[in-house]
Amino acid sequence: MRHLRVRTPNHFAERIAIAAAALALAWNTPCIAQPQTADQAWLGYRELAVKPEVPGAVASLYRRARSGPGALPQNASDEVLEGAASAQLQSGLMGMLREGPKLVNSGPRIVLVGTRAEFGALYPMIKIPELGPESFWIGTSQTGGGEWDILVAGGDGRGVLYGAFELLRRVSQQQAVRRIDLIETPAMPIRWVDEWDNADGSIERGYAGRSIFFDAGHVRDELHPAAEYARLLASVGINGCNLNNVNNAAAFLEPDMLKGIARIADAMRPWGVRVALSVDIASPQKIGGLKTYDPLDPAVIAWWRAKTGEIYKLIPDFAGFTVKADSEGQPGPASYGRTPADAANLLANALAPHRGVVLYRAFVYNHHLDWKDPKADRARAAYDIFHPLDGKFASNVIVQTKEGPIDFQAQEPVSPLFGGLERTNQAMEVQITQEYTGQQRHLVYLAPMWKWVLDFDLRTENRSTPVKEILAGKSFHRPLGGMIGVAGVGQDAWLGSPLALANLYAFGRLAWDPNLTAEQIAEEWTRQTLGNDPQVVRTVEAMLMQSWPVYVHYTGPLGMQTLTDITGSHYGPNIEASENNGWGQWHRADHEGVGMDRSVATGTGFVGQYWPEVAKVYENVSTTPDDLLTFFHHVPYTWKLHDNKTVIQYIYDSHYEGANEAAHLGEEWATLKGKIDPSIFDNMQRRLTYQAGHAIVWRDAIVQYFLKLSGIPDATGRAGHYPNRYEAEKANLFHYSVIDVKPWEDASGGKAVSCTYEDPGAIELSQVPAGPTFEGNIRSCTAEWKFTGKPGRYDVAVQYFDLRGGSAYWTFLLNYANPESWVGNADLPTNHPHGDNSTRHIIHNVLLEDEDTLEIRGFPDKADPAALDYIELLPASRPVS
């Protein structure tokens, strides 16, 4: 029983509670009230301000080319794809131009779509260049009287579809198409997205809600979103979708599940997207009832052959299997002393008669490494295991290698394995879903990172072999190769954040043409998604282009990777999480210095996996580029970088600059108010405001950690000094208790306060804060400070912990009046106060005078104890309204 003195008869508590409930509602309003469509991404086809001249009708040649003498043979696939192409052109052009075009059978003034063979049969006088599979040509022809047609010819049905999307892409960017004459061929045949969806509808490393494919152990009944996803993928030339998580894959080969997968294949087929499945190499044992899954066992071989036959009966164009084996607890051929090639070829042989392929992941490593062994190195694993197998894989196997040797870090070198498999088909796996790069809560446009990898010249055999040419099969004359993007789309507007969709778009565009620039792609995407207003295009392109370096600056610069909680959420800062465990994501920071020595001369020898011209650069600490320095070398904090700055000073500067740059992203976005779709504007503004606050959490965690570890002060005096910060643990506290935050660097000064009291019982009046407290069943805790600074207007930043498992809320009061409340239910990782959930709320323009009382009241809810780190007074950033 509590006995608190009631000082406010005016239902103050209820008012706050109602305000908080309204806030909760606003934040939680799902973004999926509308049916999920591709229009919500970049295929909106909104009316253009400047309308390029385009013929007024669309016709497909398919039917006409199959009637009458000399008719072409039926081709069901082309019929479907050309139907999709012409319908898409019609609705897209209609949306953008507002009038016409109609679907008709013939011209004049028409956009004609068909395969090259169809054009040849009907219009032999038109000279169309040779076109391979999936390629297209777009040209024009004069039809007299100043009239003209646009011709979209494909090497096959997919080519027609891709040509149609290219034409729409140009029109949507207001480009003139009057004299268009363009041939395009995809650079690489394998252009897939991988989804890590589980049968229960959750998504591993997905940050946009639940699966669009699965729920409660089954394929969903409603698959319209799957079809819309395929439309989105087709618009950027993606031709495959691997549907399920590489972990927990066995259940996907059960007969009932396969029937559901066939429905997904039906939904995606009209858009030229073939489905594939991740498979568990132990399936013959796990679901097949065999005693073994040894890849060389005849019963196992027969099981896979039969299972594959069963799949192709249901899905005749099934694309193939993806395999994660002997990795992070997944079973693999090593259990029987067999190699990845044995396992890959087992599946490849079963798929070959059906023309399916195996994507065998090179992400194979021991996660129980001995961290005390200076020679142990996870980065070495893929090359050590796969390079000796070069030439041993069947012709329909593609080895799928992550772009860097560790695991999708904010910054890593290129995997040397790309240069180590000359007689093997290769694909590169990148991550669209932002596991280590801010989980879509932070804006990080990844195309510049991928471009850097694609353009990286591995100098195989001392000749030019950029990664993009290896993947295209050019460098080593391989028939198959490509790019795989782990997408993680879900029910929340595909990727949650509107601007994160630029990554899905960029992935497809780069897989199609790795010579496009990241800027070009950013501009294309912005124009299609947000409109052609020059200020919008300029601003968003600039924001996208800055965002990756900005994120690196405040997370893991100098090749330290992402200094995150690698044994937890992979989101907020936790510097020691990488150390003293077998996962091998070590940065080896100690009192003297930081970095892993991977040199051949004195380190793990990883550098020796590169061809000599590249190895020479990384072997030597002085020639290693600064941005990868600590990935390759352990250097003292006093080591001078190429601009003469010390490593420790760079760490301080980079984090302060990064946090400022993150704040600037939000300011840039704010200039677009009224110029773009208001719902996108508001959504991104909320995310960018959050990001600016979280960048400060990152900054402070890393700076205070390295300050303590190195003992070297920041030359500019910022590190460890927060002059306008009022710590919660030093406040006058009522009911709040002081706690140690783990890891310590995730809270200012390592401590916070938490409102975890159960029932304080009777308390003395002298203990009750001056000002209102509450009766009834509303629990709260209070932290109170006296303002002692220079009187004036300030922004009050409140740093609080928004935990899972409840919707706590906080109220700021000045002199016990003018409450401002906000709720913490942003669905952040981790259920204890941590850098994952440390969040900033700003109260603007507070007029403070000497001896004013600043107060934060925390209202815990369920498992969320309304924890608080500090408040900080900042110069007022907005004019008084």
Q: Interface with ligand GCV by CB under 6 A: which residues? A: 196, 204-205, 245-247, 324, 328, 363, 407, 435
Shortest approach of ligand GCV to residue 570 CB, angstroms?
6
Using H for helix, E for strand and C for coil, what is the string for 102-162? EECCCCCCCEEEEEHHHHHHHCCCCCCCCCCCCCEEEEEEEEECCEEEEEEEECCHHHHHH
Structure tokens at 192: 């897939």
Interacting residues of 666 by C-beta distance below 8 A, sequence separation 6+: 685, 688, 689, 691, 692
Q: Which entry of 184, 407, 412, 700 is annotated as an active-site residue?
A: 407
Cβ closest to ligand GCV, residue 624 vs residue 830: 830
Q: In angstroms, rounded to a whole number, what is the distance separating the alpha carbons of residues 26 and 34?
A: 17
Contact 258, 314 (CB under 8 A): yes
Shortest approach of ligand GCV to residue 668 CB, angstroms?
31
Shortest approach of ligand GCV to residue 268 CB, angstroms?
22
Cβ closest to ligand GCV, residue 204 vs residue 657: 204
Q: Which entry of 204, 297, 317, 328 is annotated as an active-site residue?
A: 328
Q: Is 181 a residue of the active site?
A: no
C-alpha dihedral (130, 133, 138, 142), degrees to nearest 10: 50
Cβ closest to ligand GCV, residue 110 vs residue 343: 343
Cβ closest to ligand GCV, residue 571 vs residue 794: 571
Q: In angstroms, rounded to a whole number, what is the distance separating the alpha carbons of residues 468 and 465?
A: 8
The alpha carbon of 797 is separated from its chain's Cα centroid by a whole number of angstroms, namely 29
Cβ closest to ligand GCV, residue 328 vs residue 795: 328
AA letter at 491 = Q
Phi, psi (deg, nearest 5) at residue 492: -90, 85
Q: Is 729 a residue of the active site?
A: no
What is the DSSP track for 764-821? -GGGSPSS----TT---EEEEEE--S--EEEEEEEEEE--SSS--EEEEEETTEEEEE
Shortest approach of ligand GCV to residue 330 CB, angstroms?
8
Q: In angstroms, rounded to a whole number, what is the distance separating the alpha carbons of residues 845 and 59?
A: 61
Shortest approach of ligand GCV to residue 249 CB, angstroms?
10
Beta bridge partners of 320: 276, 357
Give, in degrees to the nearest 5, the angle at Cα 39 between 33 and 42. Answer: 125
Q: In angstroms, rounded to a whole number, what is the distance separating the alpha carbons of residues 185 and 296?
A: 39
SS3 content of the chain, % helix, strand, coil (to 5): 35, 20, 45
Cβ closest to ligand GCV, residue 166 vs residue 407: 407
Contact 429, 195 (CB under 8 A): no
Q: In angstroms, rounded to a whole number, what is the distance separating the alpha carbons of residues 874 and 852?
A: 16
Give, in degrees to the nearest 5, the angle at Cα 629 between 624 and 630. Answer: 150
Residue with tokens 């065999």, as numbered in its chain: 290
433, HSE (Cβ side, Cα atoms, 13 Å)? 24
Cβ closest to ligand GCV, residue 246 vs residue 596: 246
Phi, psi (deg, nearest 5) at residue 390: -55, 130
Shortest approach of ligand GCV to residue 105 CB, angstroms?
49
Cβ closest to ligand GCV, residue 363 vs residue 705: 363
Shortest approach of ligand GCV to residue 367 CB, angstroms?
9
CA-CA-CA-CA torsion sign (679, 680, 684, 687): positive
Q: Which entry of 166, 435, 802, 836 is annotated as an active-site residue?
A: 435
Contact 398, 427 (CB under 8 A): yes
CA-CA-CA-CA torsion sign (868, 869, 875, 877): negative
Q: In angstroms, rounded to a whole number, what is the distance separating the alpha carbons of residues 614 and 90?
A: 51
Q: In angstroms, rounded to a whole number, what is the distance separating the alpha carbons of residues 613 and 621?
A: 15
Beta bridge partners of 842: 797
Q: In angstroms, rounded to a whole number, what is the distance separating the alpha carbons of residues 408 and 406?
A: 7
Q: In angstroms, rounded to a whole number, what is the distance separating the alpha carbons of residues 370 and 122?
A: 69
Q: Is 328 a residue of the active site?
A: yes
Cβ closest to ligand GCV, residue 40 vs residue 245: 245
Cβ closest to ligand GCV, residue 441 vs residue 527: 441
Q: How far apart are the first and last CA of the chain?
A: 44
AA letter at 639 = W
Cβ closest to ligand GCV, residue 188 vs residue 566: 566
Shortest approach of ligand GCV to residue 378 CB, angstroms?
11
Residue with tokens 């027969």, as numbered in its chain: 302
Query: Which has the closest alpha carbon to 484: 508, 505, 457?
Result: 508
Cβ closest to ligand GCV, residue 377 vs residue 597: 377
Shortest approach of ligand GCV to residue 571 CB, angstroms?
11
User: Which residue numbers are catalytic?
Assistant: 328, 407, 435
